[in-house]
Amino acid sequence: MRVLGVDCGGEYTGYGVVEMHPAGKLRCLGCGAIKLSPREALPRRLSRIYTQLGAVIAEYQPDEVAIEDVFYALNVKSALKLGQVRGVAMLAAAAAGLEVSEYSPLTIKSSVVGYGRAEKHQVQLMVTRLLELPAPPEPLDASDALAIAICHLHTATTHQRQRAVGR
Amino acid sequence: MRVLGVDCGGEYTGYGVVEMHPAGKLRCLGCGAIKLSPREALPRRLSRIYTQLGAVIAEYQPDEVAIEDVFYALNVKSALKLGQVRGVAMLAAAAAGLEVSEYSPLTIKSSVVGYGRAEKHQVQLMVTRLLELPAPPEPLDASDALAIAICHLHTATTHQRQRAVGR
């Protein structure tokens, strides 16, 4: 199973593609971040995210998409900004016929670091170890996106195992 | 000049197309609302808005798009929801190569009713009069979208007149 994780942000939108092999081994296929210029008009910025995420999906052919749920600790202004980016990211997934799963920051951090209040650099460290990367993924938005993908793979395989034992 | 106004909402997204003739007369070319089922998955709902707004743009061929700016009086949860819809609406405009202008609710109401704190049904009444409609546009989301389009036409023609007198 191959998952695209997307970390939506006002300035950077991170993405990361992780594959889980039958034995449970995780492999990073690619990651990066789409940088948006605040000088560009908003519709053009959103258009850029949509096109670039579409290109990532076309290149890596993920089976599913996972995205951070961001109901938390934001003010109205940043929630609106983030919502715009999220809407477009979800649309890119829907355009490719992919299911989207949402995870809270707490769930993502718990799944990757084992501690829901972990800092971004702790997430980056664990992502580097779990994926056996030669260097920490940069920028932090890319490592966050990989963490979201790993969280979804952990969750999906747990569900599969539960189904397998008839629960 | 022909303008598509879009009123983004969590449940209904209204749209309205208004044309201004050289003598300043306004004409409604069409309006309506895209209803979203809360039972559908969010990416599918966003996909529906994108497709239907794209169809409206293809049918009415507006020159520009106007949208309500919603930084105001919302909580984080509804701002995020609205942001998602707005992002997709802006993307539909950008995909058609159209410029998007944003107006605050206060500006829209002032422009249409002459009073920034007007109620929705007052907006509906004035929209009906200004466009000489046989009946009030329904639902209210459609009349709000027409109001946004009228506001943009008023603003754009004021700018044109200012340019014409060299200010």
Q: How is chain B split into domains, by residue range?
A: 2-166
Average pLDDT over every residue of A36-60: 94
pLDDT mean for each 10 residues of chain B (167 residues): 93 95 92 91 94 97 94 76 94 96 94 90 95 95 96 85 68
Eight-class DSSP state of A131: T
Higher pLDDT, B164 or A1: A1
pTM for this predicted structure:
0.89
Three-state SS for chain B is CEEEEEECCCCEEEEEEEEECCCCCEEEEEEEEEECCCCCCHHHHHHHHHHHHHHHHHHHCCCEEEEECCCCCCCHHHHHHHHHHHHHHHHHHHHCCCCEEEECHHHHHHHHHCCCCCCHHHHHHHHHHHCCCCCCCCCHHHHHHHHHHHHHHHHHHHHHHHHHCCC
Eight-class DSSP state of A69: -
A143 pLDDT higher than 80: yes
Helix axes B42-60, A76-95, angle to 10 degrees: 80
- How many CB pairs lie under 8 A apart between chains A and B? 100
Q: Is B63 a catalytic residue?
A: no
Which CATH code of 3.30.360.10, 3.20.20.70, 3.40.50.300, 3.30.420.10 fits the domain covering A2-166? Answer: 3.30.420.10
Identity of the amino acid at B34: I
Q: Does A136 touch chain B (CB under 8 A)?
A: no
User: What is the spatial distance between Cα B85 and Cα B39, in angstroms, rounded to a whole number?
Assistant: 16
User: What is the spatial distance between Cα A155 and Cα A165, in angstroms, rounded to a whole number?
Assistant: 16
CA distances from A151 to A119, A155, A167 (A): 16, 6, 21
User: For position B166, what pLDDT does the model report?
Assistant: 63
User: For position A100, what pLDDT does the model report?
Assistant: 96
User: What is the spatial distance between Cα B58 and Cα B54, in angstroms, rounded to a whole number?
Assistant: 6
Q: A7, A19, A64, A144: which one is catalytic? A: A7
User: For position A166, what pLDDT does the model report?
Assistant: 62
pLDDT in tens, B124-147: 999 999 999 999 999 999 999 999
Contact assignment for B94 to A70 by CB distance below 8 Å: no
Q: B11, B59, B63, B68: which one is catalytic? A: B68
pLDDT in tens, A106-142: 999 999 999 888 898 999 999 999 999 999 999 999 9
Q: Is B7 a catalytic residue?
A: yes
User: For position B64, what pLDDT does the model report?
Assistant: 97
| Highest mean pLDDT of the ranges A60-64, A158-162, B20-24 | A60-64
A45 pLDDT higher than 60: yes
Q: Is A69 a catalytic residue?
A: no
ipTM: 0.85
Interior angle at CA B37, CA A93 and CA B53, nearest 5: 60
User: For position A73, what pLDDT does the model report?
Assistant: 54
Contact assignment for B90 to A42 by CB distance below 8 Å: yes
Average pLDDT over every residue of A73-90: 87
What's the pLDDT band for A68 if we cut at 50, 70, 90? Answer: very high
